[in-house]
């Protein structure tokens, strides 16, 4: 839907699903909302749907929410966290289903179908069976009866979302069964009702020993799922994170996407800014998504070519909550808008969707629009500069993931290592190292494995290099790290100046709220700069050649 068509839809009342031209059948928003009202990785207040262990919401606000999700092309919503608690597991029983159905009724008005996240162990957890083995006849019957009951309440339910064998959540592997066994038992229960199983592929060893240099977390999804291609039922969608690590500022696309020829797939993005500023720091995700969709998957195709073909759905983790401006940071609204628009049409550019959002939000003032567009388009690069350039990744504080901690995860079980010592940094993921590059199409394997042809902005993701390694612009790797961190701080200062100059053109509330966020972003950028540069200066004992102050 064009900007003109969108305005016409609004003027017409916006009370019906808008016309959407799209090559992607399912545009899905996953909420990580807990039934206690807390939102996991949520940075915009409490849950819109839950409070104190119950489904509890403001019907008017939910209707407004459904309306604006529909307006950007979202047609599937899962309102509960993939990390399902025992209480939330009751959402597929008579205990909570009546309330879930009323919520689904509101979204249905706007052409949005509900998905419910379920616990794979539900037959034992809430069904009181002695097992959850997907091949056990009692379990098969339990899932079938549970699904039939759910569809009595919500006849157009899109299906169930499942996180299993992941981050201490039990799944089929715990019982010696395959991921296909686990997905299929639920899919077969849903099939008579035209429902689907959305099976997350974020399955990896989260108890890794840091001394083990061969186990490589990015390899996990491909290793677990690719050998099962063809074993999944037709109403199973494998939900694959776009990157093999975990929503980092920069990482390659997962080699699993598009690799499976006989299995339906969805690409999973993150609108909530877990590793990208947490809706405090400005970060226009559309810039990153344009790169993701444009990235090659072979010598003849890009990720965009798979959309609507081998990849039939686009999913994102939501960034909304009860804050008055929905997303905590006013400018973070652009990320939700961009997801909807680019999910409908992955060929759209960041420039196009951000321009649309700015006009719809702030009007037609050319000075304001150009300045704000420039800020948003630059924001991803700026954040990358003062955090982790060259796809180094992580280096964040443990658990909450905001702010720098260069060795925070380095000796932890989660397998997110940069392995920096006083001589070199990075992980060799070529055939001579962990072998990760061999999971890609031969064209990409060759491209990534050669440090001379590897995209420089992902150099440390694929290669282990000495600090004096010369980049294409003649700088050493270490000098590049020093420079980018200082540049990132300067660019945030530039954002603040730009925003201050726009004050007279902005609603006061919007100006004040964003100005406060930008002050916090500057503090964060300075901390990253000081901590990371000091870490490498102490580790290498190599000075910044420009003589800037780095703490000793």
Q: Provide the CATH number for the domain around residue 528.
A: 3.90.1330.10
pLDDT at 345: 95
Contact criterion met (CB below 8 Å) for 521 and 281: yes
pLDDT-derived band at 9, boundaries 50, 70, 90:
low
Contact criterion met (CB below 8 Å) for 382 and 374: no
Per-residue b or e along 467-489, where b marks 16 or more CB atoms closer than 10 Å to that residue's CB:
bebeeeeebbbbbbbbbbbbbbb
**In 3D, which of 527, 388, 362 has the Cα closest to residue 457?**
388
pLDDT-derived band at 552, boundaries 50, 70, 90:
confident
Q: Is residue 469 part of a domain?
A: yes
pLDDT digit string (tens) for 315-337? 999 999 999 999 999 999 999 99
pLDDT at 161: 98
Strands (E), 339-454: 424-425
Q: Is residue 81 part of a domain?
A: yes
Q: Is residue 455 part of a domain?
A: no
The whole-angstrom separation of Cα 503 and Cα 246 is: 37
Angle at CA of residue 251, ends 247 and 254, nearest 5°: 80
pLDDT at 12: 62
Helix (H) or strand (E) holding 196: strand 196-200
Is position 274 annotated as part of the catalytic site?
yes
Q: Which residues pair with 162 in a beta bridge?
A: 118, 199
Contact criterion met (CB below 8 Å) for 236 and 164: no
The pLDDT of residue 473 is above 60 = yes
Helix (H) or strand (E) holding 236: strand 236-241
395 with 285, same domain? no
The number of domains in the chain is 2
18 with 152, same domain? yes
HEC secondary structure over 111-172: CCEEEEEECCCHHHHCCCCCCCCCCCHHHHHHHHHHHHHHHHHCCCCCEEEECCCECCECCH
Q: Is residue 433 part of a domain?
A: no
Q: Which of 133, 181, 233, 246 is catalytic?
A: 246
Q: Is residue 441 part of a domain?
A: no
Is position 209 annotated as part of the catalytic site?
no
The whole-angstrom separation of Cα 448 and Cα 430 is: 8
HEC secondary structure over 21-35: CCCCCEEEEECCECC
Q: Is residue 364 part of a domain?
A: no
pLDDT-derived band at 3, boundaries 50, 70, 90:
very low
The pLDDT of residue 33 is above 90 = yes
122 with 266, same domain? yes
Please state, for a pLDDT cut of 90, what percent of the chain lies above it: 94
Q: In CATH, what number is assigned to the domain containing residue 195?
A: 3.20.20.80
The pLDDT of residue 431 is above 90 = yes
98 with 233, same domain? yes
Q: Of 294, 317, 348, which residue sits at a domain end?
A: 348
279 with 415, same domain? no
Torsion of CA 201, 156, 147, 263, to 10 degrees: -30
pLDDT at 490: 98
Which tokens in the block code for residue 222?
A: 């491909």
Q: Is residue 517 part of a domain?
A: yes
199 with 58, same domain? yes
Q: Is residue 231 part of a domain?
A: yes
Q: Which of 26, 274, 483, 491 is catalytic?
A: 274
pLDDT at 8: 59
The whole-angstrom separation of Cα 18 and Cα 446 is: 45
Per the prediction, the chain carries an average pLDDT of 95
203 with 292, same domain? yes
154 with 292, same domain? yes
Contact criterion met (CB below 8 Å) for 180 and 135: no
pLDDT at 347: 95
Domain range for 499: 389-427+464-540
177 with 273, same domain? yes
Is position 512 annotated as part of the catalytic site?
no
pLDDT digit string (tens) for 237-257? 999 999 999 999 999 999 999
Q: What is the largest CA-CA distance in the chain?
A: 71
pLDDT-derived band at 96, boundaries 50, 70, 90:
very high
**In 3D, which of 1, 75, 88 has the Cα closest to residue 36?**
88
The pLDDT of residue 15 is above 90 = no
479 with 395, same domain? yes
The pLDDT of residue 367 is above 60 = yes
Q: Which residues pair with 390 in a beta bridge?
A: none
524 with 423, same domain? yes
**In 3D, which of 312, 303, 339 has the Cα closest to residue 24?**
312
Q: Of 328, 348, 368, which residue sits at a domain end?
A: 348
Cα dist. 507→209, 361, 485 in Å? 52, 11, 33
290 alpha carbon, distance to own chain's centre: 14
Contact criterion met (CB below 8 Å) for 427 and 464: yes
The pLDDT of residue 277 is above 50 = yes
Task: Name the one residue in this structure whose structure tokens are 């689907």.
Answer: 196
pLDDT digit string (tens) for 496-541? 999 999 999 999 999 999 999 999 999 999 999 999 999 999 999 9
Residue 460: Cβ-neighbour burial (10 angstroms; 0-12, 13-18, 19+): buried
180 with 286, same domain? yes
pLDDT at 45: 98
pLDDT at 352: 98
Q: Which of 86, 130, 167, 374 is catalytic?
A: 167
The whole-angstrom separation of Cα 60 and Cα 333 is: 20
pLDDT digit string (tens) for 374-406? 999 999 999 999 999 999 999 999 989 999 999
Better pLDDT: 10 or 264: 264
Helix, coil or strand: residue 486? helix
pTM above 0.85, yes or no: yes
Q: Of 348, 372, 398, which residue sits at a domain end?
A: 348
Sign of CA pseudo-dihedral 534, 539, 540, 541: positive
Backbone φ and ψ for 402, nearest 5 degrees, come out as -120, 130
């Amino acid at each position: 839907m064009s900007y003109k068509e969108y305005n016409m839809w609004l003027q017409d009342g916006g009370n019906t699903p808008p016309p959407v031209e799209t090559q992607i059948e399912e545009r899905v928003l996953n909420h990580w909302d807990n039934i206690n009202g807390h939102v996991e990785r949520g940075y915009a207040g409490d849950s819109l749907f839950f409070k104190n262990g119950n489904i509890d919401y403001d019907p008017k606000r939910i209707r407004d929410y459904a309306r604006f999700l529909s307006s950007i092309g979202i047609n599937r919503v899962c309102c509960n966290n993939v990390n399902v608690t025992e209480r939330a597991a009751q959402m597929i029983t008579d205990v909570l289903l009546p309330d879930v159905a009323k919520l689904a009724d509101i979204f249905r008005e706007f052409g949005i179908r509900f998905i419910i996240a379920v616990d794979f162990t539900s037959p034992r957890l809430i069904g009181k069976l002695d097992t959850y083995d997907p091949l056990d006849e009692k379990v098969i019957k339990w899932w079938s009866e549970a699904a039939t009951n759910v569809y009595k309440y919500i006849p157009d339910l899109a299906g169930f979302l499942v996180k299993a064998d992941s981050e201490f959540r039990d799944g089929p592997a715990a019982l010696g069964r395959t991921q296909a066994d686990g997905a299929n038992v639920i899919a077969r229960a849903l099939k008579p009702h035209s429902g689907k199983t959305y099976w997350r592929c974020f399955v990896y060893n989260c108890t890794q020993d840091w001394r083990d240099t061969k186990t490589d977390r990015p390899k996990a999804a491909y290793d677990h799922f690719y050998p099962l291609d063809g074993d999944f039922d037709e109403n199973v969608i494998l939900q694959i994170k776009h990157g093999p690590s975990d929503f980092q500022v920069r990482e390659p696309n997962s080699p699993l996407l598009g690799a499976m020829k006989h299995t339906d797939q969805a690409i999973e993005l993150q609108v909530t800014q877990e590793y990208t500023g947490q809706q405090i720091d400005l970060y226009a995700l559309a810039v990153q998504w344009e790169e993701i969709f444009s990235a090659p998957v072979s010598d003849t195709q890009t990720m965009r070519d798979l959309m609507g073909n081998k990849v039939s759905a686009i999913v994102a983790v939501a960034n909304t909550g009860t804050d008055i401006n929905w997303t905590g940071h006013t400018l973070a609204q652009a990320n939700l808008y961009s997801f909807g628009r680019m999910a409908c049409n992955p060929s759209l550019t960041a420039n196009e969707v951000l321009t649309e959002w700015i006009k719809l939000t702030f009007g037609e003032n050319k000075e304001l629009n150009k300045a704000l567009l420039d800020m948003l388009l630059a924001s991803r690069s700026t954040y990358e500069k003062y955090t982790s350039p060259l796809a180094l990744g992580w280096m964040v504080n443990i658990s909450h993931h905001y702010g720098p901690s260069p060795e925070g995860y380095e000796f932890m079980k989660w397998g997110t290592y940069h392995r920096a010592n006083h001589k070199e940094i990075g992980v060799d993921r070529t055939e001579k190292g962990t072998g990760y590059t061999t999971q890609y199409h031969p064209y990409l394997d060759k491209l990534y494995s050669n440090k001379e042809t590897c995209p420089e902005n992902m150099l440390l993701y694929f290669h282990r290099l000495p600090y004096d390694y010369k980049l294409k612009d003649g700088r050493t790797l270490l000098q590049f790290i020093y420079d980018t961190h200082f540049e990132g701080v300067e660019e945030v200062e530039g954002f603040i100046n730009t925003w201050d100059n726009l004050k007279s053109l902005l609603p006061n509330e919007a100006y004040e709220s964003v100005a406060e966020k930008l002050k916090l972003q500057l503090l964060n950028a300075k901390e990253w700069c000081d901590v990371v540069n000091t870490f490498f200066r102490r580790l290498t004992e190599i000075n910044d050649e420009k003589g800037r102050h780095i703490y000793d």
